[in-house]
Amino acid sequence: MADCLIVIPARYGSRRFPGKVLAKLAGKPVIQWCWEAAVKTRLGPVIIATEHQKVLDFARSIGARAVMTSPRCQSGTDRVSEAARGAKARFILNFQGDEPFMLASTLLKAFNKLKSSPDCAIGTACSRITKKEEIENPNCVKVAMNAAGRALYFSRSPIPFHHPLSELKGYPYYKHCGFYIYRREALREFVRLKPSALERLERLEQLRALENGMKIAVAEVPELGPAIDVPADLKAAERFLKKRLKK
């Protein structure tokens, strides 16, 4: 078993979709899908961190380890940091509780990418965007990387811009997977930093890391399923699940 702690921040009071972590997807709450994927990685212990009694009670009802964290946590990473306080694991995996189709193989590939990248403080993953509507969708976060798979920038806008006169035709866009793996010291450093200008502008906390010189290793993985950001995403998730079951 790897030296890793997986924390799933599961905020009940989501602004765009209150209670989304307990919303049912094919009869099973979104948070349960996430917890099961995390357990399958066998990377280490899994904790669900929440600010609401309903989520705590449900997590414990399925046998998950769960802790109550402060409602004052400003981000999922702050919640992860609080839940992981005192942990001895060298790596802390922040697996967001609204990614029901995350595969254990995706988390493992990103973990191995970070372990083999001593220059990087954080690891994550991306996949090629195959649907044109996702390129313009601000809820679909895009990432631009260098040749070594180091993140250069994340944005809700389409990046990199494809100039019509560019000689590079068919260059892909990449969608960011909603999780992060921190070296323990990097997580401590990150939560001490103030939210940065670009982070506040795009509402993407990973930009705080880049603005402060922290390198992020990005593993490319197969196409992801939809995350649950707004109520309409549940219908897209149901369609995705039906297609996956037919394969």
Which value, in Å, is the radius of gyration of the alpha carbons in the chain? 17
**CATH code of 188's domain:** 3.90.550.10
Q: Which of 227, 193, 217 is nearest to 91 (CA)?
A: 217
Q: How many domains does the chain have?
A: 1
User: Whose CA is closest to 103, among 22, 240, 1, 223?
Assistant: 223
For 139-182, the pLDDT digits (tens) are 899 999 999 999 999 999 999 999 999 999 889 999 999 899 99
Note the pLDDT tens digit of each residue in 49-108. 999 999 999 999 999 999 999 988 888 899 999 999 988 999 999 999 999 999 999 999
Residues spanned by the domain of 86: 4-246
What residue has token string 């010189």? 213
